[in-house]
């Protein structure tokens, strides 16, 4: 049994409070499909915002690589319907930034700060008391569509760049936040891609239209031409996520990490980088600046793009002074992930261990610890 199958079985029948999706490659969508169908439902799915041309870019990239699937086509054509049919209540799209944008910092969450009141999702008080975890966004997401539970269509909302979710359990605010950072391709490249779309398809199509084009051999060929005109090897929209303390906890609070027979204490903060391309100086600087308020609390780093040499820079390791585990999540691939240069750089970093997580259950990575409450 693969590690993915084993993990999906563990959560079978459970309900998720919130699920973050860093990016939507075709092969990832297949795994998401399996996960959602196994769960009993998901309150919120959070992913990078994608407009019509953005979806077209993902379809074109998959067509160019020969990995396009019907699941991705259906998701692109109707995200609210596809995810809603799989038990998702609300989709939160995170506004992205590119290399030329002012990145800023995430919203500050302090113990005494009053977060905006959100409308109750359980007006009758009938929600299962066994699921007390809640997330409160520092800025309420802007409603795009209210959805329709009767027809299993998820609601949709747009989250502003910089917004952070504070976590409450059984009404008690924890010193723990979920802080997404969505990245989008440069405006210049997207403009070139948009021009190619207009040349090959005409103007003003929707994401559903592009998905329908991609269902035909001719449409896929035209999408490949659009993609090849701008990108030949490019990481598309992606989202990073910091999960960890909002402020340094009192005392040397550590978690315990297991990887096979390897056990070690680690600081609790975690950053997952998705398909982020850290080889680009301005892009890397923006990400590290954005997450700098959390830097001393980060003990675990999900390496960009499955540990690809092409998406890495050693500066990622030095930015987090208490980093202990650099993690590459990989499966069978033809790209050489994780790269040898990445593994060499991690080996040279003081106190940092390279952790490979793959399809084998023996390489499962687990972390346990105590999350302090704010008093």
Residue with tokens 């199958």: 5
Please indicate, yes or no, whether residues 229 and 253 belong to a single structural domain of this protein. Answer: no
Average pLDDT over residues 184-189: 87
Is 173 inside a domain boundary?
A: no
Please indicate, yes or no, whether residues 285 and 363 belong to a single structural domain of this protein. Answer: yes
| Residue finishing a domain among 234, 253, 271 | 234
| Distance separating the N- and C-terminal Cα atoms of the chain | 44
Is 181 inside a domain boundary?
A: no
Across 198-212, 231-245, 257-271, least confident range:
231-245
Please indicate, yes or no, whether residues 6 and 70 belong to a single structural domain of this protein. Answer: yes
Please indicate, yes or no, whether residues 219 and 78 belong to a single structural domain of this protein. Answer: yes
Please indicate, yes or no, whether residues 211 and 356 belong to a single structural domain of this protein. Answer: no
Short-list 287, 227, 229, CA closest to 96: 287
Q: How many CB atoms sit inside 10 A of residue 45's CB? A: 24
Please indicate, yes or no, whether residues 366 and 284 belong to a single structural domain of this protein. Answer: yes
Residue 245: partners with Cβ closer than 8 Å, 6 or more residues away: 175, 176, 177, 253, 268, 269, 294, 297, 371, 372
Mean pLDDT score across all residues of the chain? 87
Task: Classify each residue of 166-189 as buried b or exposed e, where b means 16 or more C-beta atoms within 10 Å of its C-beta.
Answer: bbbeeeebbbbbbbbbbbbbeeeb
Percent of the chain surpassing pLDDT 70: 90
Q: What is the pLDDT of residues 208-248, one digit of tens each?
A: 999 999 999 999 999 999 998 777 655 678 999 999 999 88
User: What angle, 0 to 180 degrees and rounded to 10, lies between the N-to-C axes of helices 52-65 and 70-77?
Assistant: 170
Give helix then strand counts, H and E, for the chain: 11, 16
Task: Classify each residue of 315-348 as buried b or exposed e, where b means 16 or more C-beta atoms within 10 Å of its C-beta.
Answer: ebbebbeebbbbbbbbeeeeeebbbeebbebbee
Is 257 inside a domain boundary?
A: yes
Is 124 inside a domain boundary?
A: no
Which pLDDT belongs to residue 300? Answer: 95
In order, the DSSP letters of 131-190 are --EEEEESSPPEEEE--BGGGTB-EEEEEPTT--EEEEETTEEEEEEEEEEEE---HHHH
Please indicate, yes or no, whether residues 87 and 204 belong to a single structural domain of this protein. Answer: yes
Which domain covers residue 329, as residue numbers?
Answer: 245-375
Residue 88 backbone phi and psi in degrees, to 5 = -85, 130
Is 118 inside a domain boundary?
A: no
Please indicate, yes or no, whether residues 148 and 25 belong to a single structural domain of this protein. Answer: yes
Asked if residue 38 lies in contact with residue 6, where contact means CB atoms within 8 angstroms, the answer is no
Residue with tokens 């002012």: 102
Is 174 inside a domain boundary?
A: no
Please indicate, yes or no, whether residues 306 and 364 belong to a single structural domain of this protein. Answer: yes
Between residues 118 and 282, which one has the greater pLDDT? 282
Q: How far is CA 129 from the centre of its chain?
A: 28
Q: Encoding tokens for residue 221?
A: 């060929």
Asked if residue 77 lies in contact with residue 215, where contact means CB atoms within 8 angstroms, the answer is no
Which pLDDT belongs to residue 127? Answer: 44
Please indicate, yes or no, whether residues 138 and 261 belong to a single structural domain of this protein. Answer: no
Q: Please give the tally of structural domains in the chain.
A: 2
| Residue finishing a domain among 234, 266, 288 | 234
Which pLDDT belongs to residue 252? Answer: 62
Which pLDDT belongs to residue 363? Answer: 85
Short-list 279, 257, 275, CA closest to 267: 257
In order, the DSSP letters of 233-288 are S---SEEEEEEE-SSPPSS---EEEEETTEEEEE-SEEEE-TT--TTSHHHHHHHH
Is 125 inside a domain boundary?
A: no
Q: How many CB atoms sit inside 10 A of residue 257's CB? A: 22
Average pLDDT over residues 67-72: 92
Average pLDDT over residues 336-356: 91
- Report d(CA 221, CA 227) in Å as an integer: 10
| Residue finishing a domain among 180, 206, 234 | 234
Q: What is the pLDDT of residues 138-157, one digit of tens each?
A: 999 999 999 999 999 999 99
Please indicate, yes or no, whether residues 42 and 152 belong to a single structural domain of this protein. Answer: yes
Is 175 inside a domain boundary?
A: no
Please indicate, yes or no, whether residues 334 and 230 belong to a single structural domain of this protein. Answer: no
Which pLDDT belongs to residue 129? Answer: 42
- Report d(CA 328, CA 330) in Å as an integer: 6
Which pLDDT belongs to residue 374? Answer: 67
Q: What is the pLDDT of residues 100-134, one digit of tens each?
A: 888 899 999 876 554 444 444 443 443 444 446 88
């Amino acid at each position: 049994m693969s590690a993915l199958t084993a993990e999906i079985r563990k959560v079978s029948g459970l309900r998720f409070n919130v699920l973050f999706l860093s990016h939507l490659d075709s092969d990832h969508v297949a795994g998401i499909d399996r996960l959602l169908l196994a769960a009993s439902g998901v309150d919120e799915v959070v992913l990078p915002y994608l407009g019509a041309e953005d979806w077209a870019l993902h379809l074109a990239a998959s067509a160019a690589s020969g990995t396009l699937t019907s699941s991705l086509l259906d998701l692109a054509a109707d995200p609210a319907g596809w995810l809603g049919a799989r038990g998702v209540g609300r989709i939160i799209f995170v506004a992205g930034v590119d290399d030329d944008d002012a990145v800023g910092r995430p919203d500050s969450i302090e113990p005494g700060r009053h977060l905006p009141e959100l409308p109750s999702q359980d007006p009758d008080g009938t929600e299962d008391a066994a699921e007390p975890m809640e997330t409160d966004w520092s800025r309420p997401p802007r409603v795009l569509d209210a959805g329709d539970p009767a027809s299993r269509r998820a609601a949709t909302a747009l989250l502003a760049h910089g917004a952070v979710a504070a976590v409450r359990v059984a009404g008690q605010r924890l010193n723990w936040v979920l802080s997404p950072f969505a990245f989008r391709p440069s405006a210049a490249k997207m403009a070139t891609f948009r021009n190619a779309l207009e040349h090959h398809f005409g103007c003003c199509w929707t994401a559903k239209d592009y998905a329908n084009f991609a269902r035909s051999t001719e449409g896929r060929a035209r999408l490949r031409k659009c993609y090849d005109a701008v990108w030949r090897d490019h990481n598309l929209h992606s989202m990073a996520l910091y999960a960890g303390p909002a402020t340094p906890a009192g005392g040397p609070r550590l978690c315990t990490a297991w990887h096979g027979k390897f056990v070690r204490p680690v600081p609790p903060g975690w950053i997952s980088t998705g398909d982020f391309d850290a080889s680009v100086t301005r892009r890397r600087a923006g990400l590290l600046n954005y997450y700098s308020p959390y830097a001393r609390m980060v003990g675990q780093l999900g390496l960009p793009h499955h540990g690809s040499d092409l998406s890495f820079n050693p500066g990622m390791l030095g930015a987090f002074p208490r980093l202990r585990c650099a993690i590459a999540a990989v499966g069978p691939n033809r790209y050489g992930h994780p790269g040898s240069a990445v593994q060499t750089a991690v080996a040279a970093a003081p106190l940092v261990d390279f952790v490979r997580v793959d399809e084998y259950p023996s390489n499962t990575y687990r972390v346990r610890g105590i999350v302090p409450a704010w008093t």
